[in-house]
Structure 1
């Protein structure tokens, strides 16, 4: 197993650790920053998420730079991304930080696209992420990170930056999903 695939596996193994800090009631103090109180366990979980999200860039960098792209990596990397994003969004819904309908739109698109990719892969076709899809991912990750960190430092000035980023992510999710289905409609017609 090459280094990028090991990094991707590390991302998957960080997900349960992230969830433990999000939901297990640890006897840790809260941290107060400028009037915003963050449970220390949540802060640790948010840092774990940040590290895990960073591994997505890292594994891709090594895979491209050292020509270590594998079919296993092409399968595992998007799966790891979806697992991490799903865990974070479900945590935010559980805390009543984000509305469930926004998360349902995002996750529905993710699983639908994964399904199409699997059908295409069965026919020997690899469907790469589009630029719109990459922007969607960037805004999803930014929204999650800001929301996990309780909207700090923007909470001090009263700007709901986390929710603004999430709205942009939802809009990009819808647009990139439509674009993805239109550009890959041949997968449906060929497979029927």
Structure 2
């Protein structure tokens, strides 16, 4: 499965990089207005869950990418919180427990959990929708993050198809739809459009 692992590693690199523009933008602006910390907590948990699945199916690319992605996603959470030590401690405990349970429990239990984590972008969709509805300016949501996220999920989609895994195909498709919705809401927000025009 050379090509499957190739696309898996491409997705891994993109998945690791996607959090960096978001963390950088929050620190540059000095605020996280419009960014859902709930989404990033769920995405960090999702990485831990997929790490467990990676051990289950024996996929090096999935294991490597989920570890790196979890750590990078954590940087966004840390940029949005005022209690970094507490967050790091909880991250270590909960991520280890989640990965172990997903790797060892029966598939009829773990599959619904993996599907549930694909909805991790729902809090950001709701936040971006509210910002668009109320025409709230000054969004800290990074378009670079969104672009990398979409590219990452497209690579995972190819990986999933090559692996012929219904679980991976289904979860990746749902996550991709969520990322596209966030992109649409952020790009179509009139306040964000005027902000980008002013910054040019």
- TM category (shorter chain) comes to 0.3 to 0.5
Rg larger in structure: 1
More helix by share: 2
Higher RCO, 1 vs 2 (CA within 8 Å, ≥6 residues apart): 2
More strand by share: 1
